[in-house]
C-alpha cells in the first residue's frame, strides 16, 4: 500500500479548523498521505492556494454551504476556475439535488439519511451521470457513541447499497477539523469495514477516485476544452512533409 497515492479531499484548516495548513500537512505526511485538499467554507476565508510542501500535495478546495439551490450554481461557476476541489455540504433535498445535477461539483457531503429524504436512488443515478462523488464522512461516527453512531452506521450501510447498485463514485474522508481528528489511511479502511465496505472499495474511495477527480480538474497545458487538446507539434512537421511531396 505504500506505493499508492492516498488522498483526503475534505480537510479544514484555520479559521474553520483549529490547526494551520502546515500542521495538518505535517501529520498527513506522517500518516502516509500523498495529498490533502483544504476545503474551508466559502464564506469564512479565501481558498487556500495549491502547493507542494515537503513531498505532500496540498490541493486548493472550497466547501459551499448554501441554503438556496439557485445560489449554489452561481457559486460553483465562480469557484470552478479558482480551485481544484469543490465540495458541497448538502442536507436538504433541494441542495442535494442541485449538487448531483451539476457536473462541475466534485463532492457532495453530509447529504443526510435515506429516511429523512437525503440520499436516494434518484440522486444516486444523477450522481453517476454527472460524475459527482458522494462523501462517506467517517467523522460522523468516529466521535459518536450509542444511538447517533448506530444511526450513522446504518445510514452508511444503506448509502453503500445505492452506491453499489448505481455505480456512484465516492470518497472516504475523516473530515478533520484539527490534528486529532485525522486518521491514517489503513484506519479509514478499517472504519469503512464497519458498515460493510470491502477493502477494494475502500481503496478506490481514498486512492483511485480522488486521483481521478484531481486529474479531471487539473488539465495539462495542451488542454483547450472538453474533447479538444493540442497534440504534439512534431506531428505537424510530419504532416507538412507529406503535403509537400
Partner 1 sequence: MKVLPPTMRENKRYLAFELIAEGNISRDDLIREIFSASGSLLGDLGSSECNIWLFAFDNLKGIISCEREHVSQTRAALATISYVKGKRVSFHILGVSGTVLGATKKYLEGADISNPEEQSHINE
Q: Which residues of this protein are in contact with partner 1, per CB under 8 A? A: 19-20, 22-27, 30-31, 54, 141-143, 145-146, 149, 178-184, 186-191, 193-194
Nearer to partner 1, 14 or 69 (CB): 14
CA distances from 244 to 193, 231, 233 (A): 64, 21, 17
- Work out how close the CB of 240 gets to partner 1 at its nearest, in angstroms, rounded to a whole number: 51
- Work out how close the CB of 214 gets to partner 1 at its nearest, in angstroms, rounded to a whole number: 23
Do the bridges between strand 85-89 and strand 7-11 make them parallel or antiparallel, or are there none, so unpaired?
unpaired
CA atoms within 13 A of residue 46's CA, in its CB half-sphere: 4
Nearer to partner 1, 75 or 179 (CB): 179
End-to-end CA distance of the chain: 54
Nearer to partner 1, 54 or 243 (CB): 54
203-242 as b/e: b if 16+ CB within 10 A: bbbbbebbbebbeebeeeeeeeeeeeeeeeeeeeeeeeee
- Work out how close the CB of 204 gets to partner 1 at its nearest, in angstroms, rounded to a whole number: 17
- Work out how close the CB of 140 gets to partner 1 at its nearest, in angstroms, rounded to a whole number: 12
Nearer to partner 1, 147 or 227 (CB): 147
Nearer to partner 1, 15 or 74 (CB): 15
Secondary structure (3-state) at 187: helix
Nearer to partner 1, 25 or 163 (CB): 25
User: How far apart, in whole angstroms, are the C-alpha atoms of residue 227 and residue 156?
Assistant: 36
User: Phi, psi at residue 172, to the nearest 5°?
Assistant: -110, 140
- Work out how close the CB of 210 gets to partner 1 at its nearest, in angstroms, rounded to a whole number: 19
* Count of residues making up the chain: 245
- Work out how close the CB of 52 gets to partner 1 at its nearest, in angstroms, rounded to a whole number: 13
Per DSSP, the residues of 47-88 read: PPPPEEETTEEEEEEEEE--S-HHHHHHHHHHHHTT-SEEEE
- Work out how close the CB of 9 gets to partner 1 at its nearest, in angstroms, rounded to a whole number: 19
Secondary structure (3-state) at 152: helix
Nearer to partner 1, 49 or 78 (CB): 49
Compute the C-alpha angle 102/103/107, nearest 5°.
85
Amino acid at each position: 500500500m505504500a506505493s499508492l497515492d492516498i488522498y483526503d479531499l475534505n480537510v479544514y484548516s484555520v479559521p474553520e479548523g483549529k490547526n494551520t495548513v502546515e500542521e495538518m500537512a505535517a501529520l498527513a505526511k506522517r500518516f502516509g498521505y500523498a495529498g490533502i485538499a483544504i476545503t474551508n467554507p466559502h464564506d469564512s476565508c479565501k481558498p487556500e492556494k495549491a502547493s507542494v510542501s515537503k513531498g505532500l500535495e496540498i490541493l486548493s478546495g472550497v466547501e459551499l454551504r448554501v441554503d438556496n439551490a439557485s445560489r449554489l450554481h452561481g457559486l460553483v461557476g465562480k469557484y470552478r476556475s479558482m480551485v481544484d476541489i469543490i465540495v458541497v455540504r448538502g442536507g436538504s433535498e433541494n441542495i442535494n439535488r442541485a449538487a448531483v445535477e451539476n457536473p462541475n461539483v466534485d463532492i457532495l457531503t453530509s447529504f443526510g439519511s435515506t429516511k429523512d429524504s437525503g440520499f436516494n436512488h434518484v440522486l444516486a443515478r444523477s450522481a453517476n451521470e454527472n460524475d459527482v462523488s458522494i462523501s462517506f464522512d467517517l467523522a460522523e461516527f468516529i466521535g459518536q457513541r450509542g444511538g447517533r453512531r448506530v444511526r450513522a452506521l446504518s445510514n452508511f450501510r444503506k448509502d453503500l447499497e445505492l452506491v453499489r447498485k448505481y455505480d456512484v463514485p465516492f470518497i472516504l474522508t475523516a473530515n478533520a477539523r484539527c490534528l486529532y481528528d485525522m486518521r491514517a489511511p489503513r484506519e479509514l479502511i478499517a472504519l469503512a469495514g464497519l458498515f460493510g465496505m470491502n477493502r477494494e472499495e475502500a481503496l478506490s474511495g481514498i486512492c483511485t477516485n480522488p486521483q481521478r477527480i484531481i486529474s479531471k480538474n487539473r488539465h495539462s497545458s495542451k488542454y483547450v476544452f472538453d474533447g479538444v487538446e493540442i497534440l504534439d507539434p512534431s506531428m505537424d512537421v510530419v504532416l507538412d512533409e507529406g503535403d509537400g511531396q
